[in-house]
Amino acid sequence: MQKIELLIKNGLLLTYDKKPFIGNIAIDKGRIIEFGNFRNKYDAQEILDATNKIVMPGFVNTHTHVAMSYFKGMADDLPLMEWLSKHIWPVENNFLSADFVRDSSLHGCAEMIKNGITTFNDMYFFGDQTAESAQEIGIRAVLGEGVLDYPVANYKNADEIFAYITKMNSKYKDNALIDFAIAPHAIYTCGKENLIKAKELAQKLDLLLHVHLSETKQEVADCLKRHNLRPAEYLDSLGFFEQRVLAAHAIWLDEREQNILAENNASIAINTSSNLKLASGFDSFASYLEKGINLSIGTDGVASNNNLSILEEISLTSKLQKALNDDPTILPARQMVEIATSGGAKALGKEKNIGSIEVGKNADLICVDINNIQSQPLYNPFAQLVYTLTSENITDSIVNGKIVMKDRELVNVDEAELIDKAQYYKQKIIDFRN
């Protein structure tokens, strides 16, 4: 028998080219080498029994701010700009440091694994420290270093940020789990010169551009007043879409802007919970789908969500879109699951390596318990994932062929220590705000 590192057996496999079926997955050197109904073929170092469990691709969270984990519940029920200017930014200005980012990112990465996320796309600062935390947990990450016009974190200006990104890209270019990206925060915090510089550096290094876009009506109104163009039109006028772009939110795009994104193969990260909670708004995605724009799912940061549940996001998004379009058939369950997995992989330029169960792809997988009252009877596993199950049903997580959560227990970190550290920072933040 062929020796392999990991065998997942007897799971209900969700593959996108055939109906779900009971089968096994053979994994070696971080990749799927076979899946199907084979028996007595492999000698595995470790066996994961997935009886009565769905085995599926791990979720891809395409927009978050993982180091903001310690701000969860700190300020709620506020308009976006008041929330930012009076609550988030003052605390960030006081606490933002390499150590804070490392600790808070570790907490956030742990929470993502517990929610079935195996890859996340971040936008923040001190990416090197977030990379350390991601590797400790064992999660895959694309780390967008935020670009702004004014001094932020330990940067005096945007040129220092660009130099840091170049350095980090070199440091992690051969890393199995970590990639860097360039993340101009938004058109209202990053001016023309730095938006162009960001695009040019992204082209030079072949990196993803990750940007907040058309998140609020006010952003659109301000852009029209200042540039006589809508936000996506303005970015297009700068040649921004000449490189691969992932636009977070993008809920106020008119038809012309949608065409710009479609023609340039840009992707969108949908952040329904955050947009609803901040009353930023929501829009029908029917025309986005008709134009072939690639959609993916983001949670945004826990400071504005306030959790990291992809299952909650896809359930809410599907139901909201059905109501908005007066069409119960739009964004059916299977499509929502694909958007949260293969759609996310495509948005990050990783569709050849993650996002589906295929031979040769990285073994980024999760197991979901269906042997319980909540899950049964089960006719359609896709519908159950979107409309019935919660993150508590996710039992196991594998990233790059390594088990990082087993039976709801994180393998690489002590959850009690993470909770203690979160409570420590909570008290420090309370003391500062008082």
Given a contact cutoff of 8 angstroms between Cβ atoms, the answer to whether 144 and 174 are in contact is no
Name the domain boundary from 315, 347, 379: 347
Query: What pLDDT does 417 receive?
Result: 98
Q: What's the CATH number where 29 sits?
A: 2.30.40.10
320 and 185 share one domain:
yes
Helix/strand/coil for 397 = strand
Quick one: which H or E segment has residue 183? strand 178-184
The reply to whether 310 falls in a domain is: yes
Quick one: which H or E segment has residue 314? helix 310-325
The reply to whether 355 falls in a domain is: no
The reply to whether 415 falls in a domain is: no
The reply to whether 430 falls in a domain is: no
305 and 262 share one domain:
yes
Mean pLDDT by 10 residues, the chain (434 residues): 97 94 98 96 98 99 98 92 91 95 99 99 99 99 98 94 98 98 98 99 99 96 98 99 98 98 99 94 93 98 96 98 97 98 99 98 99 97 98 99 99 98 97 94
331 and 377 share one domain:
no
DSSP for 58-119, please give it: PEEEEEE-GGGGGGTTSS-S--HHHHIIIIIHHHHHHH-SHHHHHHHHHHHHHHHHHTTEEE
389 and 290 share one domain:
no
Global confidence as pTM: 0.98
Distance CA 291, CA 259 (A): 7
Planar angle of CA 31, 32, 35, nearest 5 degrees: 175
Distance CA 114, CA 53 (A): 16
Q: What's the CATH number where 64 sits?
A: 3.20.20.140
368 and 321 share one domain:
no
372 and 264 share one domain:
no
Query: What pLDDT does 174 receive?
Result: 96
Distance CA 399, CA 84 (A): 34
The reply to whether 178 falls in a domain is: yes
324 and 288 share one domain:
yes
52 and 63 share one domain:
no
Query: What pLDDT does 380 receive?
Result: 98
252 and 391 share one domain:
no
Q: How many domains does the chain have?
A: 2
42 and 79 share one domain:
no
Quick one: which H or E segment has residue 248? strand 245-249
Planar angle of CA 417, 419, 422, nearest 5 degrees: 110
196 and 48 share one domain:
no
Cα 246 off chain centre by: 11
**Angle subtended by helix axes 192-205 and 158-172, to nearest 10:** 10
Query: What pLDDT does 18 receive?
Result: 87
Place of tokens 């551009």: 209
Using CA atoms, how far residue 150 sits from 156, 260, 284, 301, 304, in Å, is: 7, 29, 35, 22, 23
Helix/strand/coil for 157 = coil
- What residue numbers bound the domain in which 263 lies? 59-347
DSSP for 376-387, please give it: -S-S-HHHHHHH
Place of tokens 């976006």: 80
The reply to whether 420 falls in a domain is: no
First CA to last CA distance, the chain: 65
185 and 128 share one domain:
yes
